[in-house]
Amino acid sequence: MSDGVIQLQEYKSDIKVTWCPGCGDFAVLNGLQKALQALQLKPWMVTIVSGIGCSSNIPHFLSTYGFHSIHGRSIPVATGIKLANPELTVIAAGGDGDGYGIGAGHFIHAMRRNLDITYIVMNNQIYGLTTGQASPTSEKEMKTKSTPEGVIENPINPLTLALAAGATYIARGFSGDAKGLADLFQKGIQHKGFALIDVLSPCVTYNKVNTYDWFRARAYSLEKEGHDASNLGAAWEKANSWPNLDQKRDRIPLGVFYRRTDIPTYEDLEPAFRKGPPIRQPLGLENPEALLEEFR
């Protein structure tokens, strides 16, 4: 820290990043470090929680607090941390298999609660850590190790799911646009409520279809097209434009789809918080006899 300003370097850990060269997750890590620095968040007041997968190694590469949890459970762990100490900035992160597959139930319930958590999903449309099986966002007909004749299921659309479930900040970024990612992360962290940032983050080793070039040929900026992120109908139309059942894949919107600031967070409504954050409340152990009496 110099002159009271936290430098970018101070958000970086000294653990070697082990992702494959060219993996889209590098841009997410860089973008997140830049967003934290732009907001001047103290590293000790930030916690990154992940599940399992290549992208879920991300807490190791930051100098904030971190919790590398189990498959699909980043959201419940992040929820517990946020509820214990709502003064912390809590960011959950992981991949599409982790968050939209095994963790899908947690994902939906966190959104309907409007917890003040930022959720970054590095969506590479494949299981990378387990060497290339179809994930919940793999495109229909895509050939993978687990689907040698092509995927027969429709992919999950995380953005329409988030709109339906009640997320109050919904955005999509692309690892080929590092500056745009940092901006989306910054806005998501500042948003009071549940923020989803789905990042198209190519797996250069196992997904040979959805590459950087493939996305560059299709991606466009919602902001440049004058999209109104306060308009639910417009957000739905844009979110549903890809992926969808018609398999239209010629134009993929990037940016903030939807943002709403008039919905109270779970923390705003939780009666237990009226006395202040739980971490600042007495544990009730000052008089153990009285506590034991409750159970007699």
Nearer to ligand SF4, 4 or 21 (CB): 21
Q: What is the closest distance, in whole angstroms, from the C-beta atom of residue 12 to ligand SF4 in the complex? A: 18
Nearest approach, Cβ of 16 to ligand SF4 (angstroms)? 13
In whole angstroms, how close is the CB of 23 to ligand SF4 at the nearest point? 3
158 phi and psi angles, rounded to 5 deg:
-65, -25
What secondary structure, in 3-state letters, does 5-31 show? ECCHHHHECCCCCCCCCCCCHHHHHHH
Residue 54 or 88 having the CB closest to ligand SF4: 54
The residue length of the chain stands at 296
Nearer to ligand SF4 among residue 28 and residue 88 (C-beta): 28
User: Of 97 and 103, which has the nearer Cβ to ligand SF4?
Assistant: 97
- Minimum separation from the CB atom of position 198 to ligand SF4 (A): 15
Whether 137 contacts 96, CB under 8 Å: yes
98 or 267: CB nearest ligand SF4: 98
62, 31 Cβ separation under 8 angstroms: no
The site for ligand SF4 (CB under 6 A) is made up of 19-20, 23, 25, 54, 124, 128, 203-206
Rank residues 192 and 208 by Cβ distance to ligand SF4 and give the closer one. Answer: 208
Where do we find the tokens 């709109």? 163
Q: Which of 162, 172, 156 is nearest to 245 (CA)?
A: 156
* Nearest approach, Cβ of residue 25 and ligand SF4 (Å): 6
Question: What is the DSSP annotation of 79-126?
Answer: HHHHHH-TTSEEEEEEEHIIIIIITHHHHHHHHHHT-S-EEEEEE-SS
Q: How far apart are CA 52 and CA 46, in angstroms?
A: 20
CB of 206 to ligand SF4, least distance (A): 5
Q: Does residue 190 contact residue 215 with C-beta atoms inside 8 Å? A: no
User: Which tokens is 120 given?
Assistant: 């970054």
Find, among 110, 149, 153, the residue nearest to 267 by Cα. 110
